[in-house]
Structure 1
Amino acid sequence: MKPSTSNTGFFQELPVLPNQFFDDASFQRALRLFLPKDIIERVEVDIAQLGEDVLSDQIFSWITDSEKNKPYLKGSGRNSFGRPTSELVVGEGWRSLQDFGIKKGIVATGYDASLGSSARVVQFLRIQLWGSSASNVTCPSAMQDGAARLLQLHLSRDMEPTQRKALENALQHLLSRDPATAWTSGQWMTERTGGSDVSLTETVAQHIPSSEPALANAAENIPLGPWSISGFKWFSSATDSAMTVLLARTQSGISAFFAPMRRHSPTAVTMTGRPKGAAGTELNGVRIQRLKNKSGTQSLPTAELELDGMRGWLLGQEGRGINEISTILTLTRIHSAVGAVGYVGRGLAIARAYAKVRQVGAGRGQRMLLAESPLHMQTLAEMTGEYHGLMLLTFFTAHILGLDENPQADRSGLSNALAAITPDQKHIAPLLRILTPLCKAYVCKKSIPLLYSCMEALGGVGYMLNEETEYLNIARLYRDCCVLSIWEGTTDVLATDFLRALKHPKGGQESMDALDAFFAQNNAVGEPNGWRPIDSWTAVKSSLMEKSQADLVGDARHILWAVAEALVGVLLHEDYRRDESQAAFDVFSRHQARCGGQTFGKPTPGTSNEPQLGTQDRLERNFTIVYGRSGSSKAPLSKL
């Protein structure tokens, strides 16, 4: 044998990453469970094309550029003579990825009236494919989405004509598919006094109408708001956004405001000191103090901001700011869950592709592919099963969101399977109120170790950043995924919120009634082995009824987990019943073995409903779960 050199000897064959629209069986099952047939026929070609587009060489070149050329403050925020400038610079890759998402209608699709109550499921299916190729531009997209929904709700009410003009203009920009005119949005809540706790907000807003009309945009003749806002925001993601929704304190309490990031300035000059004229703008009372140095999401500009006379518009009533901002939080939390399953979906796709080309020792001088290893396939099958449960919970939440936003939607086109898990309209809003924190907390937290396991499935190469082969960079995805269980509410914050919602004097009973109805509607007694999903919920409900919120708060995370796992069990069971796929049943029964034999406060190990299989039969079953195929890696496609 000749010795190897840097250029000779063995080189690992590169894995081929296929279009996840076709390759990810869980994606296909979620699409076909949560969308009516007529909607599927209308959108599947477009979604499949998006799945192809997000894997292009151009996209991965932009990702690499956005990571290499991180955002920075020009001159550390000052010009050559020390004057503050707050000029934020982002790279070409970041801008191009944002433009790509805008052109593809990543936010606008959610407002396509022709899709009815399915618009949100279609939108989030697209984001699931896009997010792991987006290098975090989905963060400003999420806040853009939340701001659009908030403004849309306010524009359905009576308001002063000048404010209506400003809000209508902003909504038009937020829903644009033209990168030249589209806006993203910030959401400024966090201050030094607390993260998710905004009760001690130190930013102050005063109603000081300008003596002379001031403009946000001269070309469109859009006025600035009559409120002057000053204070300090400790975290502001999407610092390059065109507008923000923020919280500030008035005499009546914490209130919500809309403000453009920039305003018209007739004195603005070019870099060389020449007047810009009518096109001149300046920051709207905002100074960027510094950018945050983060563990992940490094392509995303996150900053500390000092506000001094920022002009804005009051949204809703004074003192009701937290209630107003909850509209945005509903959207951003669901976006976080979709982002999490998007990361895991990509990680599993890479792990599947790698297992089909990587050979390992099989004993006695034999070699085999990882895809032929009983242990490796058992591991990937367990990961895939968990991922499938998270996918179903996430898109069930998206389905409920769509029904909440479209209460008059026609349900006649729902499949039998979807109708079985679709509550009466009276239960939709109270169910969404608890589903949002539950889904975000459970899905984001569970996704992080799953994505780590995807990285581990590649061995040492999985731990590398792989910037030279960007599509294999699970390490970057993992680093970015870790933030999802932190921003928009940590797991404990969301568990507390979930408990608070269930114990609310009025709304709590409505939410419990919604869960009662859902589990009663889907209480598949005796299938399998006397499985009764309602038992887990009944145990939780009993505890909720007997104990005070103060006595339960220490168990809030456990309560949320128990309800989430019961919901996942119902969704997996209905997914299996839809076509009686053996692999779908295996995923369901393994979920029950893992956590389905548990009621609140009474954990039991549970037992798998799979028969005792020989090594080869077990490998075949696991292979079908992982690849959606039966037999060898060259076998034809079959159902999950």
Structure 2
Amino acid sequence: MTEQSVRPDGITSPQAAPPVADLGTHEVTNQVPPRADGDMLSADPALVDAVRRECGDPAALGRLADAIGTAEHREHAHRANAHEPVLHTHDRTGHRIDEVEFHPSWHELMRVSVEHGLAAAPWRAAPGTGAHVTRAAGFYLTSQLEQGHLCPVSMTYASVPALRHDPELAARFEPGLTAGTYAPGLAEPDLKAGLLAGMSMTEKQGGSDVRSGTTVATPQPDGTYRLTGHKWFTSAPMNDLFLTLAQAPGGLTCLVLPRVLPDGTRNAIRLQRLKDKLGNRSNASSEIEYLGAVGWRVGDEGRGVATIIEMVSMTRLDCVLGSAGTVRGAVTEAAHHVAHRSAFGRRLADQPLMRAVLADVAAESEAATLLALRLAGAVDRGETSLLRLALPMAKYTVCKRTSALVAESLECLGGNGYVEEGPLPRLYREAPLNSIWEGSGNVTALDGLRAIAREPHAVDALLSELDTTRGADHRLDDAVAALRSELSTPDERRARRLAELGAVCLQASLLVRHAPDAVAGTFLTSRFDDGPFRTAGTRPSGAEDVLLERATPGR
């Protein structure tokens, strides 16, 4: 028997001896083999094509895929969630420390993601060079494995546009945020090789209504502010910096607070407890108190929402990317399972109804992928008008659909899909998250209405994008005509309908332009043809061969 190699973090090397197959009473048969290392891109041609089309860097994406597409990295994802973060408010001698302890697998996930440029590194690149597309594709790939650690990664990425409202603060902190170096531990930010940023907005009484916040920011003679109040959700509280909202004399204001002050002392930020969440278990979401914490103003007093909204927009993009990645991860697991599992004398992948179900889910997965990468390309090219309306529409629709699509994929595995030893239960718990964070469904849909009312150029940009496929398919033309009607008479009661219709039209248009006819046709049939049927597999399209081939690893 080959000796097992055990790493310092306790993870057994994949070179360990194989398990015993002959158990004495029965032989293990008809079980699905582990996925091979390095199969992430082979199972996702839609992503590969989109990265090239949006001018990303396929080589950089390939390096990341090689690093995370291994049994070892999947084990890190499992362990980071099985061994949840632990809050230590005091040390053994009674001193207040407010620290969170993470499992070594969390730190390995963070290291890989930060060093491969998934945090703020793209902001170092010149506009239009594809850096944001490459990063978006990497975020999408990594979301297929583990989303908890991507919360601090996402907030770090999103912090840079907000900090740039104050050139002095941006010059001070941006080099560390964009460094691409993972440097855990508490230290004064100016002394660290790499920085992570967080966001602290919501309060008990307000939730999404951040203007109702009661945290007070009092100006000091040295130009700093002292903050007193509470925050109901602050994820990744061990990050180095936090962008937060508080009531200054001039109104709601954005401020940045470090965990460690310039003199080396801890800022007065107290961690009250960690949230016990449905999913995202590896990530430490906390309730915090500011007890005279020191912060610096970012932007003008009274302009807090306008300042921090750029951070919110970028994290919303990551919600779309994360949801699209979650769906793709679930589809890939399901496709791998049905390719190797047999029932009733045939492989599951050869059975017509199973093929119809998985083809439907795979088509919608490709639609989400194309839309997410198109939005990332818009960030790279500075297409702010398109993003202003298309992003909330995509955030509403893609994130809302994720739970149903992951559930369908899980069901393809039957009872095996419901067992915690596999990845699908974790993906299922993650599925509702992005629909809630950075604005739940109603908040996001209503944000689309605000864009229509206040920024008509956003409507023009959306319709111009859709005009590129006018005449390609009558069903899409009819849907775009219905969208034009909705846009001309926006109604709060129909905000969700408008958001979904806009996003689905964008997805269909992108598929018509860039996907194989079989993929586009399956999506158009499932979303636009008459009839009440909306569960997967109710509309066999005849394109199952193409869709399953594109979704199955190891071809």
Q: What is the TM-score of this pair, normalised by structure 2?
A: 0.87
User: Is this contact kept in 2: 1:593–1:605, CA < 8 A?
Assistant: no
Measured in 2, the distance between the counterparts of 1:564 and 1:259 equals 36
Whether 1:542 and 2:525 are equivalent positions in the alignment is no
Whether 1:402 and 2:380 are equivalent positions in the alignment is yes
Measured in 1, the distance between the counterparts of 2:415 and 2:64 equals 31
Instruction: Tell me the CA shift for residue 317 of structure 1.
Output: 0.8
Match of 2:53 in 1: 33
Matches within 5 A, 1:182-261: 182-210=194-222, 226-261=224-259
Instruction: Tell me the CA shift for residue 487 of structure 1.
Output: 0.8
Matches within 5 A, 1:55-134: 55-74=69-88, 77-80=89-92, 83-113=95-125, 116-134=128-146
Match of 1:435 in 2: 390
Q: Secondary structure at the match of 1:21?
A: coil
Instruction: Tell me the CA shift for residue 517 of structure 1.
Output: 2.6
The amino acid across from 2:429 in the alignment is R
Structure exhibiting the larger radius of gyration computed from Cα positions: 1
Measured in 1, the distance between the counterparts of 2:532 and 2:510 equals 19
CA offsets, 1:438-471, max 9 Å, x none?
11111111112111111111110101111xxxxx
User: Is this contact kept in 2: 1:523–1:533, CA < 8 A?
Assistant: no
Matches within 5 A, 1:128-143: 128-143=140-155
Q: Secondary structure at the match of 1:199?
A: helix
Measured in 2, the distance between the counterparts of 1:539 and 1:135 equals 38
Instruction: Tell me the CA shift for residue 8 of structure 1.
Output: 2.8
Choose from 170, 173, 179 the match for 2:173. 170
Instruction: Tell me the CA shift for residue 624 of structure 1.
Output: 1.6
Match of 2:444 in 1: 494
Gaps of 5+ in 1: 156-163, 211-224, 266-280, 362-366, 405-427, 467-471, 545-551, 577-583, 598-603, 608-612
Measured in 1, the distance between the counterparts of 2:132 and 2:48 equals 16
Match of 2:60 in 1: 46
Measured in 2, the distance between the counterparts of 1:559 and 1:496 equals 10
Q: Relative to 1, partners in 2 of residues 1:251 and 1:385: Cα closer, same or farther, differing over 3 Å?
A: same
User: Is this contact kept in 2: 1:569–1:596, CA < 8 A?
Assistant: no
Match of 1:393 in 2: 371
Measured in 1, the distance between the counterparts of 2:346 and 2:394 equals 39
Measured in 2, the distance between the counterparts of 1:93 and 1:254 equals 39
Q: Secondary structure at the match of 1:328?
A: helix
Q: Secondary structure at the match of 2:451?
A: helix
Instruction: Tell me the CA shift for residue 342 of structure 1.
Output: 1.0
Match of 1:563 in 2: 502
Matches within 5 A, 1:133-532: 133-155=145-167, 164=168, 166-180=169-183, 181-210=193-222, 226-264=224-262, 281-361=264-344, 367-404=345-382, 428-466=383-421, 472-504=422-454, 507=455, 509-524=456-471, 527-528=473-474, 531-532=477-478
Instruction: Tell me the CA shift for residue 515 of structure 1.
Output: 2.7
Q: Relative to 1, partners in 2 of residues 1:429 and 1:530: Cα closer, same or farther, differing over 3 Å?
A: closer
Q: Secondary structure at the match of 1:258?
A: strand
Measured in 2, the distance between the counterparts of 1:102 and 1:251 equals 38
Match of 2:4 in 1: none
Q: Relative to 1, partners in 2 of residues 1:531 and 1:439: Cα closer, same or farther, differing over 3 Å?
A: closer
Q: Secondary structure at the match of 1:209?
A: coil
Measured in 2, the distance between the counterparts of 1:308 and 1:291 equals 18
Gaps of 5+ in 2: 1-21, 184-192, 534-538
Whether 1:586 and 2:518 are equivalent positions in the alignment is yes
Q: Relative to 1, partners in 2 of residues 1:234 and 1:13: Cα closer, same or farther, differing over 3 Å?
A: closer
Match of 1:573 in 2: 512
The amino acid across from 2:110 in the alignment is Q
User: Is this contact kept in 2: 1:594–1:606, CA < 8 A?
Assistant: no
Q: Relative to 1, partners in 2 of residues 1:461 and 1:325: Cα closer, same or farther, differing over 3 Å?
A: same
Measured in 1, the distance between the counterparts of 2:52 and 2:249 equals 51
Measured in 2, the distance between the counterparts of 1:390 and 1:435 equals 13
- Deviating runs (4+, > 6 A) in structure 1? none
Instruction: Tell me the CA shift for residue 606 of structure 1.
Output: 9.8
Q: Secondary structure at the match of 1:290?
A: strand
The amino acid across from 1:129 in the alignment is L
**Percent identity of the aligned residues?**
25
CA offsets, 1:262-294, max 9 Å, x none?
1255xxxxxxxxxxxxxxx44311011111111
Q: CA-atom RMSD, angstroms?
A: 2.5
Match of 1:214 in 2: none
Match of 1:623 in 2: 545
Number of residue pairs aligned between Structure 1 and Structure 2:
518
Shifted more, 63-72 versus 138-147: the winner is 63-72
User: Is this contact kept in 1: 2:448–2:499, CA < 8 A?
Assistant: yes
Q: Secondary structure at the match of 1:436?
A: helix
Measured in 2, the distance between the counterparts of 1:70 and 1:8 equals 37
Measured in 2, the distance between the counterparts of 1:530 and 1:566 equals 7
Q: Secondary structure at the match of 1:245?
A: strand
Measured in 2, the distance between the counterparts of 1:393 and 1:191 equals 32
Measured in 2, the distance between the counterparts of 1:186 and 1:535 equals 41
